[in-house]
Structure 1
């Protein structure tokens, strides 16, 4: 395999990745985007394996075995996880994948530092790694370490299964936290520069250790309400880590793919921060200058609410001309998207205009609710983003909120002291009637009480979303 052919194949793979991102920008073209992504990755892997053989018989015979084992293990694990992972576990899976990308970048950097001749960075044993390559290895390894440890914390926070305080949804804050983060950041950069200009392995090792610690400290002060942004941000970090290592290995495919992931993740994070009225740099730096966390869930004073049954809710829905459905994480937990689609179809057949409203950060990862509805084959023309549907709430007869909390909380507009003050929300409170399905009155992921639940126009329907919706479907008949 000639180097010209390798370059050409990598270029084609890069074009496939660009087309994949373009396709994933809209539900109607997402399948095509996924196909382009798979084709590009397959082409990149085949080209890389061919390149290993080109490097020489010795490297090919000793190294290709490791490559094949890695492909089999990674491919098998990926296939099994893709089949087993439920929709509610998708955010944790994404965080886990980010951690693996970051760790891979760290391992490659360590291998390059310890045995640079084996990766082609130098030709002879004992040759010094050029300063430019050492800078690239420092950046790739540091970002990879931060990505790995930060993603592990994000995984724990998203999962909500672990009692360890660092994995709790509430922010973990302590005195002098920002100063410590700043000190660690400056120390990491300083040690990285020492390694860059002197090649000192001790400085490289200490830099890595500090980067791992910094990844933890950056993520723990970020509260549950900001976790979708964190997932996107870590996605960006993993891309930049891959790009940094790509420069060291002179691998154009890694550079292009890493840059695409890094830049797209950064842009998405910025868009989401804007949608949440969060400072992009505050979130990027681990809540630096962020608001103090809200009180713990369940700490609010008990207040009376108006509650009803599934039959009551079905009566209101069938007698409405217009209905907007707001899906949230509770819908995903109950796996009720297919029952919801059945309810929407029956209401539509009765002449009710049904729309679905999606907040940019609904659920626990970007696009969580979009994928959930697509899985249930909800027509794309019925699904609207926040900025396209907010003006409709004032003319809507009934809004059905299913498991959503923070994204419909009027405190964002009415309470300047609220931690989510200024955050754009779905303006469900403007509708004539609001139906809210929750399992209990527990606060949402941000730990805040919701004034929407206490309005005179709001009726609470308590219970598992799937059971409640199924009962609504029966009542509509």
Structure 2
């Protein structure tokens, strides 16, 4: 059994490692080292918490930790990079559900302490947490109850919201925004009723109030995310990441665990900041995102004239051989086809031929912030040619060829040209300004959000149909 001094020192060390990890993730070259900081920090946190003072029942805890570690390792090896966003959403749901269970347990222990006080009984039979609760004054117990309510509510919203986000990302739930009759009034009513139940609980009502708060919060999480369209799902994942952090922080206060408070606050604040940045990138209102009030259209979309014109590999290769400047815009289709290595080889050949080749990355390309950056880094694409939207958007007008690989919404001119589009006002990559645009796409269907793209019908656009990896492979032998 480790002393509290060791545990406190370990908490500080783990917190520093977590901060270094978050800071390092802002730079692609430092990202791998940053991940190791996070791994080491978590290992330190788990070890010193598990063997700290007041912890027991190792015959149950250690086997469960081993089972969890084995499951985690198996899932991590099995899940492809294309499935990483839904895995993140699933992990958020675990954090939320854990917060609910811990909060419930904390209240049951609180009630045991109050019952023992009423009977003037000793605390020898108490758990370590209950013994800690027994030292609290009445006003401190009131704060504990507030922490319990926050843990239950935020955790429950996070759980069902993350489950629905997982379903939408995995294609198991329809990506279109759907709400029950009554829309946001149902969410507001459920939130108001939760507040009323919380007041009753704080004034001595039974455990049933926490059960009802959880049920209402489960509904809010479900209904909020169901009402958000697929095009906005990357922001939703970031938002749920923030929720999971605040749920963990609330439980940290409940358990008087400094490390959990710091870690939860880091995750919650960083997730909120990222959500705000992404909202700005998509021209969304941050408060509107939190309330789940976006993702739907405002009226009938503009009609699209013309037709999609196909081109074969020979035509695309000929244009690339004649071009001096090329910009590649990757999207989720590249991830699905696992085409990043073929794209990296194409870039190598084009650059060897003396052509300027760069990548244009939209902040919400793929299904998760940074999704495309990770794939390109995995394929050994040089960091210095991977540029963000704001860095490259003004260069499309002077670019000879743009190759769009599996992107749809992030290159959709309707965002700027059609005020009734569900993505109206969203900043997009202005690929249509280039001399020639080639869109590598499986077929003529719409993107994840279900929105038709006028880019595919423009005079300077040609559709390069087929699997992205096979299509790029077919170009390689024809590049001079």
Q: Is the 8 A contact 1:272 1:360 kept in 2?
A: yes
- Structure 2 residue matching 1:232: 3-state secondary structure: helix
- Structure 2 residue matching 1:456: 3-state secondary structure: coil
Q: Is the 8 A contact 1:243 1:255 kept in 2?
A: yes
Please give the per-residue CA displacement for 1:207-241, whole angstroms capped at 9, x wherever unaligned: 11111111101110000010000000000000000
1:19 match: 20
2:163 match: 152
1:258 match: 264
1:329 to 2:323 alignment: no
TM-score normalised by L of structure 2: 0.92
1:421 to 2:416 alignment: no
1:238 to 2:239 alignment: no
- Structure 2 residue matching 1:67: 3-state secondary structure: helix
Q: Is the 8 A contact 2:415 2:423 kept in 1?
A: yes
2:121 match: none
Q: Is the 8 A contact 1:135 1:193 kept in 2?
A: no
CA distance in 2, matches of 1:94, 1:294: 33
Q: Cα distance 1:342–1:322, how it changes in 2: closer, same or farther (>3 A)? A: same
Question: Deviation of residue 300 (structure 1)?
Answer: 7.9
- Structure 2 residue matching 1:168: 3-state secondary structure: coil
1:138 match: 149
Question: Deviation of residue 24 (structure 1)?
Answer: 0.7
1:276 to 2:282 alignment: yes
Question: Deviation of residue 68 (structure 1)?
Answer: 0.7
1:292 match: 297
Matches for 1:71-90 after TM superposition, within 5 Å: 71-90=65-84
- Structure 1 residue matching 2:437: 3-state secondary structure: strand
In the alignment, structure 1 segments of 5+ residues that lack a partner are: none
Question: Deviation of residue 315 (structure 1)?
Answer: 1.0
Q: Is the 8 A contact 1:402 1:438 kept in 2?
A: yes
Q: Cα distance 1:15–1:348, how it changes in 2: closer, same or farther (>3 A)? A: same
Question: Deviation of residue 196 (structure 1)?
Answer: 2.4
Question: Deviation of residue 26 (structure 1)?
Answer: 1.2
Q: Cα distance 1:293–1:149, how it changes in 2: closer, same or farther (>3 A)? A: farther
Moved over 3 A (4+): 121-129, 290-296, 299-303
1:431 match: 434
Please give the per-residue CA displacement for 1:285-340, whole angstroms capped at 9, x wherever unaligned: 1126x6438889xx987952221101111111121000000001111110000001
- Greater shift in the superposed pair: 190-199 or 118-127: 118-127
2:6 match: 5
Q: Cα distance 1:171–1:119, how it changes in 2: closer, same or farther (>3 A)? A: farther
CA distance in 2, matches of 1:436, 1:383: 19
1:115 match: 109
CA distance in 1, matches of 2:193, 2:412: 41
Matches for 1:94-105 after TM superposition, within 5 Å: 94-105=88-99
Partner of residue 316 from structure 1, selected from 314, 319, 322: 319
- Structure 2 residue matching 1:112: 3-state secondary structure: helix
In the alignment, structure 2 segments of 5+ residues that lack a partner are: 111-125
- Greater shift in the superposed pair: 97-106 or 115-124: 115-124
Question: Deviation of residue 5 (structure 1)?
Answer: 2.2
Q: Is the 8 A contact 1:398 1:432 kept in 2?
A: yes
Aligned residues: 462
Question: Deviation of residue 195 (structure 1)?
Answer: 1.6
2:402 match: 399
- Structure 2 residue matching 1:170: 3-state secondary structure: coil
CA distance in 1, matches of 2:308, 2:19: 50
1:173 to 2:173 alignment: no
1:447 to 2:456 alignment: no
Q: Is the 8 A contact 2:228 2:296 kept in 1?
A: no
CA distance in 1, matches of 2:25, 2:13: 18
CA distance in 1, matches of 2:133, 2:431: 67
2:201 match: 195
Question: Deviation of residue 111 (structure 1)?
Answer: 1.6
Superposed CA RMSD in Å reads: 2.0
Q: Is the 8 A contact 1:131 1:197 kept in 2?
A: no
CA distance in 1, matches of 2:441, 2:6: 58
1:379 to 2:382 alignment: yes
Q: Cα distance 1:334–1:123, how it changes in 2: closer, same or farther (>3 A)? A: closer
Q: Is the 8 A contact 2:245 2:267 kept in 1?
A: yes
Question: Deviation of residue 280 (structure 1)?
Answer: 1.1
CA distance in 2, matches of 1:377, 1:322: 21
Please give the per-residue CA displacement for 1:393-413, whole angstroms capped at 9, x wherever unaligned: 111100000010000011111
CA distance in 2, matches of 1:445, 1:36: 35
TM-score normalised by L of structure 1: 0.93
